Amino acid sequence: MKIHEYQARGLLASFGIPVPAGDMIQNADDARGAYERIAQAAGSPTALAVVKAQVHAGGRGKAGFVKLVRSAAEATEAAKFMLSNRMVSPQTPAEGLEVTKLLIAQGVDIADRIEPGAKSAKNGTKEEFYLAITTDRKSRRNIMIASREGGVEIETIAHDRPEAIIKTALHPVAGLQAHQARTVAFQLGFKGKQVNQAVQVMMNLAKLFVAKDCSLAEINPLIITPPTADHPDGRVMAIDAKFDFDDNGTFRHADLLAMADTTEENAAEVKAHQYGLSYVALDGNIGCLVNGAGLAMSTMDIIKLHGGEPANFLDVGGSASEEAVTEAFKIILSDDRVKGVMVNIFGGIMKCDVIAQGIVNAAKQVGFKVPLVVRLEGTNVDAGRKLLEAARSEIPTMQPATDLTDAAEKVCAAVG
Ligand code: GDP
Ligand code: MN
């Protein structure tokens, strides 16, 4: 599960990580009030503010959906633009995403990055860092990933110059240690009072990662503000954040569930979730309906082995109702890339006749225009086969299969 940046900022703040204040708005008319609050707090009528599209995708800066403004009029203009144009970035579908929510936040000045011995910042480089915690499957540890070259180019940097990325493994029980955080802070080039600020950010992010069952907790960029009288070494702050939470852990975080924005998610996946189905949309053209995650994975494997490409992973689970099974077929058939459907059921707790009735219902409600190959085995298989046999004329594209291989061969042949 993902959340928006404005929510992510709230979460960071609640774990003691400094973030600039801001408001979420959904209407360009509210941009003026939001800007005025920022101007008032900053004590300047021309205070710097930033208007940012709130979508579950990054690359907003380069797409023109992060704008720095210095007046209510500019804030309103930026808001109007973002709310009336789709945002297209390398992280969105080609047709882009509709923007319905904006964050208007206090803008911060970012200190120039002056390399040791140099007099000024090279090409106007600013103090922007990347900092994230995620799980590394290879080492089976949580790791902290940090880079001195944060900001909008991080993907390119990670690809072209992996040596610019610092990875630190976290102890499975003890978590991130202060000495590890200090080492990374020095490697990143933090100086003076910045070091402890950066260490605090890292330690708090590591705490948050565990406490909220994150699969990704990312700050990009983490910045340093220019020196002031109060903060001669500047302040270390987060100005963009992205979280991904483990869906298997969200049941114990009511606060996170309350932040879910289903309008940002794959509609079929949201629907499937409502019916207790595990569904993941994929890129192929063979729709799969299977019971059990292991069987679903082997079904996808065997389809691939026979030269086909699964259109989805769908596990109806052990105890799906007839209604849920019918819904599962509707979800598969609503994907117009699906050129064939393979049903692979091994009835244990799940009864074959429930699946068969779901097929018949779906045939009545939406109709199978594409080839359907059905392999049923296990509990109530005879009753299931009878139901399908009786409905044969209503489902002319249906073929029974004797086993897994037979089913895979038939469906791959049918889609070509
Ligand atoms: P993203 O492109 O979706 O990752 O959006 P970000 O929030 O990271 O913004 C992209 C870039 O805009 C950042 O890397 C900064 O360079 C710049 N930016 C964002 N907010 C501010 C701000 O408050 N002040 C300044 N000076 N730059 C900002
Ligand atoms: Mn960013």
* Residues 313-354: tens digit of each pLDDT: 999 987 788 889 899 999 999 988 999 999 999 988 889 999
Share of residues in the chain with pLDDT > 70 (%) = 100
Domains and CATH numbers, the chain: 21-107 (3.30.1490.20), 122-257 (3.30.470.20), 266-415 (3.40.50.261)
Measure the N-to-C terminal CA separation of the chain; round to a whole number of Å: 36
- 127, 112 Cβ separation under 8 angstroms: yes
Ligand 2 centre to CA of 76 (Å) is 22
Task: Name which of 138, 177, 132, 123 is nearest 158 in CA terms.
Answer: 132
- Which residues fall inside 5 Å of ion ligand 2, going by CB? 220, 240
For residue 265, give both structure tokens.
């998610």
Least confident of 133-137, 202-206, 315-319: 315-319
* Average pLDDT across the chain, whole number: 94
Least confident of 39-43, 229-233, 324-328: 324-328
DSSP H helices in 254-346: 254-257, 267-274, 293-305, 322-333
Ligand 1 centre to CA of 78 (Å) is 15
pLDDT digits (tens, 9 = 90+) for 385-403: 999 999 999 999 999 999 9
353: three-class secondary structure by DSSP: helix
Question: 129: Cβ–Cβ under 8 A, 6 or more apart, which residues?
Answer: 146, 147, 148, 149, 150, 188, 221, 222, 223
What is the rounded CA–CA span in Å between residue 372 and residue 415?
10
Question: 226: Cβ–Cβ under 8 A, 6 or more apart, which residues?
Answer: 109, 110, 111, 112, 234
Q: Per-residue pLDDT averaged across 62-84, rounded?
A: 98
372 has a pLDDT exceeding 90: yes
273 has a pLDDT exceeding 90: no
Ligand 2 centre to CA of 108 (Å) is 14
- 358, 368 Cβ separation under 8 angstroms: no
State the pTM of this model: 0.84
Token pair 């003691």 is at which residue? 16
Residues in the chain: 416
Mutation test of ligand 1: which of 152, 220, 223, 224 has the most ligand atoms closer than 8 Å to its C-beta?
Answer: 152
